[in-house]
């Protein structure tokens, strides 16, 4: 986005009824806290830092494995961070555009799933079918680091949508 483009961003993206961002770390139990579960305290700190930055634009939470019953009501969008061949690599600008589309579609929650060491199961596919399979390329990342990368990209997308200088400096 170029300077001045922020004026074309929808009111929902500006924060007036912004959609909630929820990161689901599937290897964590529901109710667990990253700083207590992550093997690396530094990685947990990075994730919590990006979640805090995202919260300046939209409510943001980091949770463990959800219960399927959580998906019965409300307009939710599910993205999987996935290495499967059918997953799409996204430039930061494209991630921002997809988030803006979610906002325009009155999505109440964008739920981003990060699989554990074994990825996603067939049961995950049935319980939480993704609208997007998001790839970070051919890299193999530890699942905890993949969660940090996802959070950084969501923060970057918000800064693009808001015309914040964060993206321009990289």
What CATH class has 5-169? alpha beta
Q: Which two tokens stand for residue 13?
A: 């993206």
pLDDT (tens, 9 = 90+) of the chain, 170 residues, equals 333 333 334 333 444 458 999 999 999 998 889 999 999 999 999 999 999 999 999 999 999 999 888 877 777 899 999 988 899 999 999 999 999 999 899 999 999 999 988 889 999 999 999 999 999 998 889 999 999 999 999 999 999 999 988 877 55
pTM of the predicted protein model:
0.86
Classify residue 162 as exposed, middle or buried by CB count within 10 Å of its CB (0-12, 13-18, 19+): buried
């Amino acid at each position: 986005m170029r300077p001045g483009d922020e004026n074309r961003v929808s009111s929902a993206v500006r924060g007036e009824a912004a959609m909630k961002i929820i990161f689901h770390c599937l290897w964590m139990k529901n109710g667990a806290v990253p700083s207590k579960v992550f093997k690396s305290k530094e990685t947990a700190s990075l994730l919590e830092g990006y979640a805090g930055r995202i919260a300046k634009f939209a409510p943001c939470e980091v949770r463990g494995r959800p219960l399927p019953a959580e998906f019965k009501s409300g307009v939710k969008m599910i993205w999987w961070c996935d290495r499967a061949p059918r997953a799409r690599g996204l430039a930061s600008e494209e991630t921002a555009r997809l988030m803006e589309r979610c906002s325009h579609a009155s999505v109440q929650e964008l739920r981003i799933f990060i699989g554990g060491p074994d990825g996603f199961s067939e049961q995950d596919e049935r319980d939480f079918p993704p609208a997007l399979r998001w790839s970070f390329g051919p890299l193999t990342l530890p699942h905890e680091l993949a969660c940090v990368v996802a959070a950084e990209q969501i923060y970057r997308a918000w800064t693009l949508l808001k015309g914040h200088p964060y993206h321009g400096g990289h």
